[in-house]
Amino acid sequence: MLTSTPTRPTQSPYRVTVRRVSRLSPSFVRITFGGSELVHFLDTGLDQRIKLVLPLPGSGFDHFPTEHGPTEHGPTGDDAWSWWQLWRELPDHRRNPLRTYTARAIRRDEAEVDVDFVSHGDGGPASAWAESAVIGDEIIIVGPDARGGQAPGGIEWHPGTARTLLLVGDETAVPAITAILEQLAEDATGCVFLEVPHASDILPLLHPDGVDVHWLPRHASDDSAPPYGEPLIAAVRDWTSRFVTAQHHGRPGDQVTPGDIDVDHEILWEVPEGSAAGGDLYAWLAGEASAIKTLRRFLVSEVGIDRSQVAFMGYWRHGKSEN
């Protein structure tokens, strides 16, 4: 039998322009990108991650390697990432800032992709770019290519057959969690905790009746705020004490205490591949890395949930830029 080898990479750089800018709330701005090539952007939904390539002052994208080379040096070993190695080899002044985001919505028919940016005001190039974006501004999105003919990677939502779902995230994970919720089966059950800066950042979302959604605004009315992640940690502790039973733990006695991670120097990214093993609970947690690390220690070491049932993702690190 003949098998065909895909001739296209599974991820491609797409040159796009800003079509619309919508202020969703004080902390979220939605940018709708358009570009004729986006008709090929694979509509995976869920927590599909993408890379945004930001323009360099003066030279824009003149030095960004958009053509696919023959090398296989990327983080996945897939030639989809051949541009990655070329980008890394560029001198600092020619290397465009690269940041990781979520494809909040994909409309191939209209050749559009929405990205919801957190306006964090901490000087990062991506947040600053989004704040000042106007119609017609150019950017490059590296995202899944339907012509690749294979799973493109970049999705970490793997609940398997687990019947109880726990989704936990701060504002940077709101786009991913809302996209996941839109794709859950109608009879799904579970709980969602979303920490956002302000009560006015609570966004409308669709979710099955059996999934409870709790928004946790960080700033109180007097504008005092606890550290990032503290409301999530308290909420998960409370939920776990009330709802987690032995049947949620996975394989008894199989738990391994997670090794320590120095989130100042390493990315906290621990995701089970494929379906969750055993157990009736699947948890997906993303947000500020120190908070996710605390939740990882709590759920795995204290509660005893099998690590194969939980995705822990440090989406950003307080005080550190992405690269």
Ligand X SMILES: Cc1cc2nc3c(=O)[nH]c(=O)nc-3n(C[C@H](O)[C@H](O)[C@H](O)COP(=O)(O)OP(=O)(O)OC[C@H]3O[C@@H](n4cnc5c(N)ncnc54)[C@H](O)[C@@H]3O)c2cc1C
Summarize as ranges the residues that interact with ligand X (CB under 6 A). Answer: 49, 99-102, 116-118, 120, 122-127, 171-172, 175, 315-322
Alpha-carbon span 114 to 136, nearest angstrom: 15
At its nearest, how many Å lie between ligand X and the CB of residue 119?
8
Q: How far is the CB of 112 from ligand X (least distance, A)?
A: 16
Cβ distance to ligand X smaller for residue 74 or 279: 74
Residue entry with tokens 């733990």: 249
Are the C-beta atoms of residues 32 and 19 closer than 8 Å to each other? yes
Considering beta carbons, is residue 136 or 319 the nearer one to ligand X? 319
Rounded to the nearest whole angstrom, what is the least distance from the CB of residue 71 to ligand X in the complex?
24
CB of 15 to ligand X, least distance (A): 20
Q: Which is nearer to ligand X, 157 or 250 (CB)?
A: 157
Least distance from C-beta 257 to ligand X, angstroms?
Answer: 25
Nearer to ligand X, 193 or 316 (CB): 316
Nearest residue by C-beta to ligand X?
Answer: 124
CB of 170 to ligand X, least distance (A): 7
Closer Cβ to ligand X, 81 or 244, answer by number = 81
Shortest Cβ distance from residue 129 to ligand X (Å)?
Answer: 8
CB < 8 Å & 24+ apart, contacts of 149-153:
149/4, 149/6, 149/8, 149/10, 150/6, 150/10, 151/10, 152/10, 152/11, 152/42, 152/44, 152/80, 153/10, 153/11, 153/76, 153/78
What is the token pair recorded at 170? 């701060």
Closest to 46 (Cα-Cα) out of 139, 141, 137, 167: 167
Alpha-carbon distances of 322 from 100, 183, 267, 300, rounded to whole Å:
8, 29, 10, 27
- According to DSSP, the residues that pair with 98 across neighbouring strands are 53
Residue with smaller CB distance to ligand X, 127 or 275:
127
Cβ nearer to ligand X, comparing 99 with 307: 99
Tell me whether residue 205 or residue 303 sits nearer to ligand X (CB atom): 205
Output the smallest distance, CB 161 to ligand X, in A. Answer: 25
Q: Is residue 31 within 8 Å of 139, Cβ to Cβ?
A: no
Q: Is the Cβ of residue 163 or residue 317 nearer to ligand X in the bound state?
A: 317
* Least gap, CB of 172 to ligand X (angstroms): 4
